[in-house]
Structure 1
Amino acid sequence: MQVHATTVALDGGGLVILGPSGSGKSTLALQLMAVGATLVADDRTDLRLSAGRLMAQAPLPLLGRIEARGVGILQAEPSAPVPVALACNLGRDEEDRLPQVRHQDWLGVRVSLVLGPYRPHLYAALRQLMLGRRLA
């Protein structure tokens, strides 16, 4: 299945970033890439099951390309398909300061979900979440 999302890989896991056009998906991915993430897919992400794991990859025409608004299409070192570890939806507001654990289901696989909107510290919080775990 294909979703309107940008995906990056960090520490062997994929972060699928959802949201409407202009919500900051590519901006968030570029910030994460600046602190060690690798681009998997920009704007559209293909999801599939492989040995019971949800995998994310770029559609071939978009492989190794990311849009930087106001700059243009940039080339990036493409990532191989990656198992999905986390999702973030920039199109849904999180109103709780310390939110409950939320989930997104794709192809029968439940993935932890963080809600938006885009905030300047979000890239750092998501990086830390991908490298560690949530305590509360």
Structure 2
Amino acid sequence: MSVLLHASCVAIDGRAVLITGESGAGKSDLALRLIDRGAALVSDDQVRLNAVDGQLIAAAPDTIAGQIEVRGLGIMAMAHRSPMPVSLLIELGAPIERMPEPRSRELCGIGVPAVALDPFEAVAPIKAELALRELGLRQ
């Protein structure tokens, strides 16, 4: 099964983090700040997802591979890593609970740990890295 998801995606330590949300929610902004902290771009705006041997794999569609939208500057070329195994889903615009229970979202028939974050908080990239470390290991 293959799905094209409206999302951005970065890789941290060889594991993909999907970032979903409405247009203008801050997906590319959070992706850029994670890249500034050492992550690698997988794909921006659209991510192709495939289930392969029980693992969710994220890849950039050929038409946008190696490109990221930087609001106010336009489409910029950037090195990217694709395909990558998905370990975490960050949902922008979802209600943020103070002490959330662990949850997941099913994509292509595979459960992926999910968290809600505010992408514009100064600590959002750090929270994303902590969530990957803590939740991504529970898969």
TM category (shorter chain) comes to: over 0.9
The equivalent position to 1:22 in structure 2, one of 8, 11, 24, is: 24
> 1:44-55 counterparts in 2 under 5 A?
44-55=46-57
Runs of 4+ in 1 over 3 A off after TM superposition: none
Question: 1:33 touches 1:39 (CA, 8 Å); kept in 2?
Answer: yes
Alignment partner, residue 109 of structure 1:
110
1:72-120 deviations in Å (ceiling 9; x for gaps): 11111110200000001102121x2121112110111000001133222
In the alignment, what sits opposite 1:38?
40
Letter in 1 for 2:81: S
Structure 2 distance, partners of 1:109, 1:74, is 32
Aligned partner of residue 127 in structure 2, secondary structure: helix
Structure 1 position 133, deviation (Å): 1.3
Q: TM-score, normalised by structure 1?
A: 0.92
Corresponding position of 2:99: 98
Partner residue in 2 for 1:81: 83
- Structure 1: runs of 5+ lacking an equivalent: none
Contact residue 90 and residue 117 of structure 2 kept, 8 A: yes
| Matched AA of 1:66 | I
Q: Give, in angstroms, the shift of residue 125 of structure 1.
A: 1.1
Query: Is the 1:40–1:58 contact (alpha carbons within 8 Å) kept by the matching residues of 2?
Result: yes
State the TM-score, normalized to the length of structure 2: 0.90
Task: Give SS of 2:134's match.
Answer: coil
Give the count of matched residue pairs: 132
For structure 2, the residue ranges without an aligned partner over 5 or more in a row are none
